[in-house]
């Protein structure tokens, strides 16, 4: 069996007297689309930031693509960051740069690509997410919410990553745009052979995309399994999240 893409063991996170995670373990395998879910204060975003090397746990190890992100030096982390992409909840596009330049930014930071190669790669990535060359000249303020998400996704994929992190990818989108964006992520996951880790509160998005769900509760991952197995676990958060009225409507996806 191939080594996991993400391997977190014995992780404890503490802010002052507040313990967020205690002895948390999590494995993400190559090709997974794994959703992190949990109640408010369960530490989903903190865990995501630790995978990205932006926060350090009090104890435990976080390995991403075979690299211990706590022990890696700056050069190793810089190399590692070229192997993943990150889609932020609100896109986080640079407001002073047009669409083309936003997607080009990660390529320019490498300082190894000629300008014609950057141009071709940017236009290819924009085409992959459904953005036309004419729209490439638009500023972020002139884009719809759905277009901002697509441009941000193109930027996240600019360096052909193996691993994609998504933070609330469909937040703020209407149902039609949300469904379209979910289909786009599914297609790109298959085409680029991506591994995806996603934080989401949206059940429709979770069930349409995820092959695994990791539930954070009691300061740890209480279950990491396919959605149809997770909903069989008797636990208050799981019953509320998946088996409430809204959850039951969304679960019809698993039965079709």
pLDDT digits (tens), the chain, 256 positions: 667 999 999 999 999 999 999 999 999 999 999 999 999 889 999 999 999 999 999 999 999 999 999 999 999 999 999 999 999 988 799 999 999 999 999 999 988 889 999 999 999 999 999 999 999 999 999 999 899 999 999 999 999 999 999 999 998 888 899 999 999 999 999 999 999 999 998 999 999 999 999 999 999 999 999 999 999 999 999 998 888 766 666 666 555 5
For residues 225-256, one letter each, b for 16 or more C-beta atoms within 10 angstroms of the residue's C-beta and e for the rest, the string is eebeebbeeeeebbeebbeeeebeebbeeeee
State how far the Cα of 53 lies from the Cα of 20, in Å rounded to an integer: 17
- CB burial class (10 A; 0-12, 13-18, 19+) of residue 76? middle
Instruction: Write down the CATH number for the domain with range 30-55+71-255.
Output: 3.40.50.300
Q: What are the residue boundaries of the structural domains of the chain, listed by start?
A: 30-55+71-255
Residue corresponding to tokens 């290819």:
124
Bridge partner residues of 38 (DSSP): 216
State how far the Cα of 13 lies from the Cα of 21, in Å rounded to an integer: 5
Q: How far is CA 19 from CA 55, 155, 220, in A?
A: 14, 35, 11
The pair phi, psi for residue 231, each rounded to 5°, is -70, -10
């Amino acid at each position: 069996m191939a080594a996991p893409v993400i391997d977190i063991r014995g992780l404890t996170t503490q802010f002052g007297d507040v313990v967020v995670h205690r002895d948390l373990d999590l494995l993400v395998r190559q090709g997974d689309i794994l959703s992190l879910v949990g109640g408010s204060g369960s530490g989903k975003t903190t865990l995501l930031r630790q995978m990205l090397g932006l926060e350090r746990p009090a104890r435990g190890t976080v390995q991403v693509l075979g690299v211990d992100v706590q022990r890696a030096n700056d050069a190793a982390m810089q190399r590692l960051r070229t192997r993943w992409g990150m889609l932020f909840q609100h896109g986080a596009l640079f407001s002073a740069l047009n669409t083309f330049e936003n997607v080009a930014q990660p390529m320019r930071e490498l300082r190894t690509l000629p300008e014609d190669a950057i141009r071709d790669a940017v236009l290819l990535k924009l085409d992959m997410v459904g953005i036309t060359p004419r729209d490439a000249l638009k500023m972020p303020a002139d884009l719809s919410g759905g277009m901002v998400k697509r441009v941000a996704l193109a930027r996240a994929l600019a360096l052909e990553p193996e691993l994609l992190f998504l933070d609330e990818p469909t937040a703020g989108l209407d149902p039609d745009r949300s469904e379209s964006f979910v289909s786009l992520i599914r297609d790109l996951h298959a085409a680029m052979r991506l591994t995806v880790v996603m934080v989401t509160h949206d059940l429709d998005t979770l069930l349409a995309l995820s092959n695994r769900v990791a539930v954070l509760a009691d300061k740890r991952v209480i279950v990491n399994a396919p959605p149809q197995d997770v909903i069989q676990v008797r636990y208050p958060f799981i019953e509320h999240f998946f088996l409430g009225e809204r959850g039951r409507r969304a679960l019809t996806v698993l039965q079709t």
